[in-house]
Amino acid sequence: MVFDREGYSAELYRYLEGKDQGEGKRRALFISWAKYSDKWVNDLAEEQFNRVAQVTYEIRKAEVIPYLETTRTMSKYGKIRAVVIQNGRDKKRAAIYTNGTAQEIGAESIVQLICRRWGEENAIKELLHKHLINYTPGYVLEQLEEQPLVDNPEVRELKKQRAGLVSELNGLQIALANQLLDRPASKRRTPPRSQKEILDDITVVESKIVLTDR
C-alpha cells in the first residue's frame, strides 16, 4: 500500500503490520510519507546522502534522487524503517516510512513508488476533467445497513423564524382584541391601526407560518 501523509497514523501502521495479532501476522506492506519529520531530516549531515535512486516517469525525464536509510522510533508504533530523500535545487528533504524489510523491498523501489504516486492521481484527474471518466480506484461505495434520517440543516433556522412569526401573530391578535373590545389605546407615538389593517397582517403572518411548517 502506497499512500500520502494523510495516511500517517501509528494505529493504522500497527494494524497493517498486524501488531494486534502477534509476530508474523502482517496484513499488508505499506509505504508512506512521514509527518513531523522536517526537523530531524534537516539535521542529517549532507555526506550521509551517499546513495542515489533513479526515478523514471511516463512523460517526464528520469531524475536522480540522493537518499539514505535509517531507523526511527515512532510514538505508539516503535522502531520503523525510514528512507530519507533529498531532491530539487533547494535540496528539500522528506522521509518515507515503511514496514518492509530491506530483503522484501529495496530502498530504490520505495523511492520509485512514492515519487510516482502523484502521477497516478494526476492521471485520474485528467481522465475526469478531459474525458469525463470518473474512476477512483481504492474507493468502494457500500450502502449502510441502516439508513437513518437526518434533519435538514435549515430546520434549526426555520424553527427560529417560526417562533418569531408566532410571537408576531400573538401581538396582532392582542391588538385586534383591543380594537374589538374598544379598549383605549395605550400611549403610543403612532396612531392606532384599523381592524382591517390588523386582519390583513394576521392573514400574512398565518400564511408565513404555514409555509414555514411545510
Q: What is the pLDDT of residues 113-151, one digit of tens each?
A: 998 887 777 777 888 888 888 766 566 677 778 888 877
Nearest CA to 115 among 31, 41, 195? 31
CB of 18 within 8 A of CB of 27?
A: yes
The three cell numbers locating residue 32: 508512506
Residue 73 or 129, more confident = 73
Give the span between the Cα atoms of 196 and 198, in whole angstroms: 5
- Look at residue 201 and give its three-state secondary structure: helix
- What is the rounded average pLDDT for all residues in the chain? 86
Least confident of 19-33, 81-95, 131-145, 147-161: 131-145
DSSP single-letter state for residue 102: T
pLDDT of 186 above 60: no
Give the span between the Cα atoms of 198 and 202, in whole angstroms: 6
DSSP single-letter state for residue 35: S
pLDDT of 66 above 90: yes
